[in-house]
């Protein structure tokens, strides 16, 4: 029996995710965002010895939450390579895939990782700590136009140009090395009484660029139609509109651009169909217990 590690990350909408997967005890399931293992443990406990669970996580810290079992497989890799890794394990198709796209509580709480606007930490934000690109590289080396693109596209910030210009001006006199350095540098760009949200959007934008999160998600989604068997489930939880838009488009149209293509009879050509129409959100009770659940949006689809 595995034990729950709620100090690392409290699994969001656990019951809803398990219901969405519609678990067959003898089936094969993937959790592409293992983290603290909360969702994975609950899935594993519903499997028979014939069932299999494959989990993915590129963060070395996450591997500490893994356990030993003949039908449990930990893959220390980014989930954009999910299909290749399944082939290496001799697996062609699975019964269900779960993705919880949020940053784990552990990553936010480990101050030195630089994900949080609290405290003062090195500008890092790498989910894979062996990665070459850090938040410090972006802030100190990116051209002004690239910074504008990041803050506009990934942070959805209306004053992206001003933020970028302020950063470029500041770094001419000295490097911006810590989270506090960055927040101090762009302090005058923060709207009154909404500064917390502003900094959160700035950090989100940088984090997405560091980890190439949108590109990773797009690559992953395109592989799901090849790995989920007919009547298998796709369960994806996102935490901001950029991610949810890609997931929604893919489920509804079969591509991340949201372009509808139809066959001769007028049927939309798409590999998945919605199990639940629209999004599922956490209950008020769950949001009170776990404030990080508040922005979660869950979508459930079945392979056509």
Of 156, 100, 108, which Cα lies nearest the Cα of 296?
A: 100
Instruction: Enumerate residue ranges in the chain where pLDDT < 70.
Output: 1-9, 104-112
What confidence tens digit (pLDDT) does each residue in 207-231 have?
999 999 999 999 999 999 999 999 9
Among 101, 121, 133, 93, smallest CA distance to 33 is for 101
Q: What is the pLDDT of residue 1?
A: 44
Q: How far is the C-alpha of 279 from the C-alpha of 272, rounded, in Å?
A: 15
| Pairing of β 94-100 and β 28-31 | parallel
> Mind listing the pLDDT tens digit for each residue in 83-113?
999 999 999 999 999 999 977 655 555 666 7
Cα(302)–Cα(223) distance, rounded to whole angstroms? 15
pLDDT of residue 266: 87
Dist CA 58 CA 110 (whole Å): 16
Which domains, from first to last, does the chain contain?
14-105+213-303 (3.40.50.150), 112-211 (1.10.150.170)
Model confidence, pTM: 0.89
Backbone angles phi, psi at 115, to 5 degrees: -80, -25
């Amino acid at each position: 029996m595995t034990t729950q590690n709620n100090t690392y990350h409290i699994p969001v909408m656990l019951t809803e995710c398990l219901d969405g997967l519609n678990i067959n005890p003898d089936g094969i399931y993937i959790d592409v965002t293992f983290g603290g293992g909360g969702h994975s443990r609950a899935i594993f406990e519903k499997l028979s010895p014939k069932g299999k669970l494959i989990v993915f996580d590129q963060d070395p810290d996450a591997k500490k939450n893994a356990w030993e079992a003949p039908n449990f497989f930990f893959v220390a890799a980014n989930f954009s390579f999910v299909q290749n890794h399944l082939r290496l394990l001799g697996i062609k198709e699975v019964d269900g895939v779960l993705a919880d796209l949020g940053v784990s509580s552990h990553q936010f709480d480990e101050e030195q990782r630089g994900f949080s606007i609290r405290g003062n930490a090195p500008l890092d934000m790498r989910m894979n700590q062996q990665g070459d690109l850090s938040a410090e590289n972006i802030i100190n080396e990116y051209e002004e136009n690239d910074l504008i693109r990041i803050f506009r596209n990934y942070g959805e910030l209306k004053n992206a140009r001003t933020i970028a210009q302020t950063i470029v001006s500041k770094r001419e006199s000295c490097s911006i090395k810590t989270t506090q350095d960055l927040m101090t540098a762009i302090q005058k760009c923060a709207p009154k009484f909404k500064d917390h949200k502003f900094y959160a959007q700035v950090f989100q934008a940088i984090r997405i660029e560091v980890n190439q999160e949108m590109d990773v998600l797009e690559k992953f989604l395109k592989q799901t139609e090849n790995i989920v068997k007919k009547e298998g489930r796709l369960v994806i939880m996102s935490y901001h509109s950029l991610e949810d838009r890609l997931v929604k488009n893919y489920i509804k149209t079969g591509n991340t651009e949201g372009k509808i293509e139809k066959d001769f009879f007028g049927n939309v050509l798409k590999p998945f169909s919605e199990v639940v129409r629209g999004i599922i959100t956490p209950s008020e009770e769950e949001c009170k217990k776990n404030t990080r659940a508040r922005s979660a949006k869950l979508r459930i689809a079945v392979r056509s």
